[in-house]
């Protein structure tokens, strides 16, 4: 980003004498200077030059003008003024622009639309200058014959430090070279804002009122855009009587923009409230919604609402269905793969008609319809009001000759109003917009299961979701960071990814009371395209703050038609681990959330967190599956070769390295790929894993002559076998499909969802003429096992393989244990961390669960960790044994399907138990909770006290889960109703005997 100082619409006015004194030019001298600059060009006659120059000199400017321009610049401005005058006399707008490589200025009248056009030109010029510091000035006259004249001037200069340290906040270091000349009072005020901007969840601002009533607001924004000038003008213009007399903007090398506005004619409260909306405006050049706001067709609230409508409709407008589609679908209806590919094709072809740009252009053509939909939303939507608007939409679009798909988009806009149950749109002090939606709207879309709840979030630099499949649910929050190339794809698929992860979590959470949920934060690639902890943590806390708005009862400004308290637990995930969970828990405590101790898991030990990486929680369940296969097939682990995605810096990757004994042939992570047919050096891998370093830190000297290390940043690398790698990053992205990763065992410990699909799964078979479709059709069931690139795949990373890819590989004889079974150790640990937080009082929690580190921890903490580790391994062992037993009973049935059936059976029984009246039997409920609760917790909290402290809904969730999972592990998915009756009889007998 560049540093810009923009000073606009200056006042009070300055006299002609003052102007002459500052410029050291009289009107006559300026006339001569202009004539000289014109030279032989007969553009203006002498009288016009003389009169126009006098008129220019009589413009009343304040000191902002004379403090910022020298004689040469003043002469150029006067020449521009003459040119604008001449154009206006011949019917053109009064406007002049002069753009050079490192400077530009624009002259226009002071009416709103003319200033917006000039500011857009200024923005475009700034965009073209790239990563430089920019100093811009604007001044205004109130007594020009040609209305009021406004001058915008821009100069480009270098940053003091274009690449400052991540924690550098000194404005003198991260500002531009001209920033050193700023008024000390301004510098001090800006420095105060800079010191707070990275710890605040909302734009940081300072407000003061001068003696003459002028309101001075200084606003700091972490921005992904070059300038908010037109947006700020439109915002302030909405305040009745408000006039901006000056504006300043400083942009620093760390991406912070600081705006200072001098406003007359309105109160500080009104103006300040206007500016709180700046963070939510879709302020992108050439965006149709942006233009509607800047042109005052839509006010700020309606603009922000329209942006939310587009975001919702982008994901939930049904793809077009016509006769041709229906006919083709009927042809392939018995082929699941064919139906899926047809739907993918339909979605691809309809993307342009469902793009956000197209929807914005549609709103641009029919803004009055959106205004009515906004009024319906803000006043409380009803079925009758929506029906009336729907009729108007149909008539308006029909009369305009618009397509059925356009009507579908507006129908989805109205569906948004119907679906919203809770929202914080009216809350003044909000970090992001949050909408709790009734999930029934997904029934008409291609999703197999309707969630319990869906949350939509819209932030200044991000969008996100939270999907939960049960009332009591938990799952991590994933932050998706993209480069420009991958952002478009990630934006298209973020809800589908979120839904699939939550659904997988539901299957994975079969041993814990919480059902499946997941959260996502998709960060704009214009804002950041790599992980930056300070900025990412700020976005995470914005997500947390918005979520808390709609789950803390009675939050001011929140509209709630659900009228039901919700308990939500969040966990760490991609780009939100480390210090993020602790920050989220402390933030929720600050907001007054009663369940703050359990709000996030994966917290630091000093807050009672049990780090998954420290104790290898996820790896414990993965290793139970890996070692289970070895045990069942009588395999010697030390004789097997292995490939792993996910490097030694990650939780799962590092612990898999440290706990396993296979011979590594290859590994890959975000930083590099390493391969050694002689075996990747174990000691070097252990060094990286213990230090949590990426593969790029691998010492190449530890490789054999046939081995190689290719960094993602490398170019034109020649491998030992003569293969040339043009780009390391491309090599990394497809490394898991290459010949260098052939190994007996493949354990994905990291990677994006759907890395292996039906389209590329044939790469894991070494014979020619194989495709995903032929594999899935069972045409290679007798393939020689030596032609399998991997014989055993244990899916540690969530959704690394698609379902059809798993089934295709199993048809070829690959032994697969899917993610819902292998990757569940972490959720078991987190769930028991939640129960501990709900059971212990704040004082007990601080005493027994606050640990500085693994060694310096209370005995309670150490004992609880041991119990949790044992339960993680036992749960994984029980499920693995149940799957293997079922497979032996039905050898032709893929383990993938068996896993799904076990999960579905547990989910179904749990759902039915929750609907029953079994909880009325308090004795039985007490027995189950007592059986489930770790003994360590009961040493501090008696079971009857625990029953009083833990929310009733959570207790019921424990009971239903315990019954469902214990029964299914004992009887399998084929258990009958009579089996379940016998099981429950025994459990009731045990409950009575326990009293």
Sheet holding 792-794, edge to edge: 708-711, 672-675, 663-668, 641-645, 745-748, 792-794, 815-817
CB 239 within 8 A of CB 180: no
Buried b / exposed e along 805-831 (16+ C-beta atoms within 10 A): bbbbbbbbebbbbbbbbbbbbbbbbbb
Beta-carbon contacts of 986 under 8 Å, excluding residues fewer than 6 positions away, are: none
The DSSP-derived string for 185-235 is: HHHHHHHHHHHHHTT-SS-EEEEEE-TTS-EEEEEEEE-SSS--HHHHHHH
CB 871 within 8 A of CB 625: no
CA gap 209, 270 in Å, rounded: 13
Count of all residues that appear for the chain in the document? 995
SS3 content of the chain, % helix, strand, coil (to 5): 50, 15, 30
Measure CA 276 to chain center: 21
CB 708 within 8 A of CB 679: no
CA gap 585, 603 in Å, rounded: 8
Q: Strand runs (DSSP E) across 514-580, as ranges?
A: 515-523, 559-560, 569-571
**Within 10 A of 344 (CB to CB), how many other CB atoms are there?**
10
CB 288 within 8 A of CB 357: yes
- Classify residue 414 by burial, with Cβ atoms within 10 Å: 0-12, 13-18, 19+: buried
CB 175 within 8 A of CB 5: no
CB 188 within 8 A of CB 87: no
Residue 905: active-site member: no
CA gap 440, 620 in Å, rounded: 37
Measured between alpha carbons, how far is residue 187 from residues 157, 331, 651 in Å? 19, 71, 44
Q: What is the β-pairing status of strands 672-675 and 708-711?
A: antiparallel
Local structure of residue 319 (DSSP, 8 states): P
Buried b / exposed e along 218-249 (16+ C-beta atoms within 10 A): bbbbbbbbbbbbbbbbbbbbbbeebbbbbbbb
Measure CA 906 to chain center: 32
3-state SS class at 253:
coil
Q: Among residues 246, 491, 518, 597, which one is catalytic?
A: 518
CA gap 705, 728 in Å, rounded: 20
Residues assigned a catalytic role: 518
């Amino acid at each position: 980003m560049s540093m810009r100082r923009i000073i606009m619409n200056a006042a009070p006015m300055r006299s002609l004498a003052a102007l002459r004194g500052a410029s050291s030019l009289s009107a006559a001298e300026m006339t001569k200077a202009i004539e000289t600059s014109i030279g032989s060009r007969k553009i203006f006659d002498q009288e016009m030059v003389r009169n126009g120059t006098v008129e220019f000199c009589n413009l009343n400017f304040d000191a902002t003008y004379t403090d910022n321009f020298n004689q040469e610049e003043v002469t150029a401005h006067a020449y521009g003024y003459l040119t604008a005058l001449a154009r206006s006399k011949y019917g053109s707008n009064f406007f002049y622009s002069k753009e050079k490589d490192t400077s530009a200025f624009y002259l226009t009248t002071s009416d709103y639309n003319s200033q917006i056009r000039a500011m857009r030109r200024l923005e475009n010029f700034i965009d073209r200058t790239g990563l430089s510091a920019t100093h811009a000035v604007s001044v205004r006259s109130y007594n020009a014959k040609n209305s009021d004249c406004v001058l915008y001037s821009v100069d480009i200069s270098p940053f003091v430090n274009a690449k400052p340290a991540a924690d550098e906040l000194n404005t003198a270091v991260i500002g531009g070279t001209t920033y050193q000349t700023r008024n000390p009072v301004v510098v001090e005020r800006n420095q105060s804002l800079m010191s707070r901007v990275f710890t605040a969840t909302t734009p940081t601002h300072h407000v003061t009122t001068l003696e003459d009533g002028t309101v001075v607001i200084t606003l700091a924004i972490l921005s992904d855009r070059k300038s908010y000038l037109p947006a700020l003008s439109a915002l302030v213009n909405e305040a009745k009587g408000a006039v901006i007399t000056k504006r300043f903007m400083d942009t620093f090398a760390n991406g912070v923009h600081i705006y200072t506005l001098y406003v007359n004619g309105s109160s500080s409260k009104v103006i300040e409230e206007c500016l709180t909306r700046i963070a939510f405006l879709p302020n992108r050049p050439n965006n149709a919604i942006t233009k509607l706001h800047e042109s005052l067709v839509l006010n700020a609230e309606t603009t922000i609402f329209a942006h939310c409508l587009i975001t919702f409709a982008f994901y939930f407008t049904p793809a077009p269905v016509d006769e041709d589609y229906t006919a083709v679908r009927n042809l392939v209806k018995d082929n699941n793969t064919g139906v899926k590919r047809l739907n993918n094709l339909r979605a691809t072809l309809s993307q342009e008609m469902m793009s956000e740009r197209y929807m914005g252009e549609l709103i641009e053509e029919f803004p009055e319809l959106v205004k009515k939909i906004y009024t319906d939303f803000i006043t409380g939507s009803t079925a009758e009001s929506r029906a009336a608007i729907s009729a108007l939409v149909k008539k308006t679009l029909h009369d305009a000759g618009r397509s059925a798909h356009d009507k579908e988009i507006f129908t989805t806009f109205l569906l948004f109003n119907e679906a919203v149950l809770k929202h914080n749109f009216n809350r003044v002090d909000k970090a992001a917009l949050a909408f709790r939606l009734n999930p029934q709207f997904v029934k008409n879309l291609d999703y197999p299961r309707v969630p319990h709840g869906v949350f939509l979030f819209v932030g200044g630099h991000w969008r996100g979701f939270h999907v939960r499949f049960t009332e009591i649910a938990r799952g991590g929050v994933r932050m998706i960071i993209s480069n420009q190339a991958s952002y478009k794809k990630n934006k298209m698929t973020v809800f589908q990814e979120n839904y699939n992860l939550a659904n997988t979590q539901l299957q994975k959470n079969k041993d814990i009371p919480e059902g499946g949920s997941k959260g996502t934060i998709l960060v704009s690639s214009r804002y950041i395209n790599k992980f930056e902890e300070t900025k990412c943590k700020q976005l995470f806390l914005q997500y947390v703050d918005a979520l808390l708005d709609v789950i803390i009862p009675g939050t001011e400004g929140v509209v709630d038609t659900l009228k039901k308290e919700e308990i939500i637990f969040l966990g760490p995930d991609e780009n939100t681990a480390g210090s993020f969970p602790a920050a989220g828990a402390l933030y929720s405590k600050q907001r007054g959330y009663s369940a703050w101790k359990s709000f996030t898991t994966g917290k630091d030990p000093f807050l009672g967190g049990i780090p998954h990486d420290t104790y290898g929680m996820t790896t414990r369940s993965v290793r139970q599956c890996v070692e289970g296969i070895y045990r069942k097939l009588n395999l010697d682990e030390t004789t097997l070769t292995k490939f792993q995605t996910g490097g030694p810096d990650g939780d799962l990757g590092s612990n898999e390295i440290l706990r396993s004994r296979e011979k590594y042939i290859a590994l890959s992570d975000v930083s590099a790929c390493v391969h050694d047919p002689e075996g990747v050096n174990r000691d070097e891998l252990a060094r990286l894993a213990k230090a949590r370093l990426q593969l790029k830190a691998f010492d190449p000297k530890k490789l054999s002559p046939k081995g190689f290390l290719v960094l993602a940043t490398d170019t034109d690398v020649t491998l030992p076998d003569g293969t040339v790698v043009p780009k390391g990053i491309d090599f990394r992205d497809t490394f898991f499909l290459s010949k260098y990763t052939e190994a007996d065992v493949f354990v994905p410990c990291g990677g994006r969802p759907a890395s292996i699909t039906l389209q590329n799964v044939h790469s894991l078979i070494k014979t020619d003429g194989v495709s995903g479709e032929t594999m899935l059709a069972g045409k290679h069931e007798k393939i020689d096992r030596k032609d399998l690139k991997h014989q055993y795949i244990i899916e540690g990373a969530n959704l690394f393989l698609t379902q059809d890819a798993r089934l295709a590989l199993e048809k070829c004889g690959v032994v697969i244990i899917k993610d819902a079974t292998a990757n569940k150790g972490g959720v078991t640990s987190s769930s028991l961390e939640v129960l501990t937080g709900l059971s212990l009082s704040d004082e007990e929690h601080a005493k027994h669960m606050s640990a500085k580190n693994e060694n310096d921890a209370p005995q309670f903490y150490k004992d609880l960790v041991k119990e949790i580790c044992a339960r993680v391994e036992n749960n994984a062992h029980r499920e693995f044994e149940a799957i293997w037993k079922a497979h032996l009973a039905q050898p032709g049935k893929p383990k993938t399907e068996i896993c799904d059936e076990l999960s579905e059976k547990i989910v179904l029984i749990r759902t039915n138990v929750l609907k029953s009246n079994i909880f009325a039997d308090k004795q039985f409920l007490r027995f189950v909770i007592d059986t489930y609760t770790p003994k360590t917790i009961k040493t501090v909290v008696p079971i009857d006290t625990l029953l009083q402290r833990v929310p009733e809904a959570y207790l019921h969730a424990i009971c239903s889960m315990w019954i469902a999972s214990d029964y299914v592990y004992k009887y399998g998915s084929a258990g009958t109703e009579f089996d379940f009756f016998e099981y429950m009889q025994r459990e009731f007998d045990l409950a009575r005997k326990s009293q």
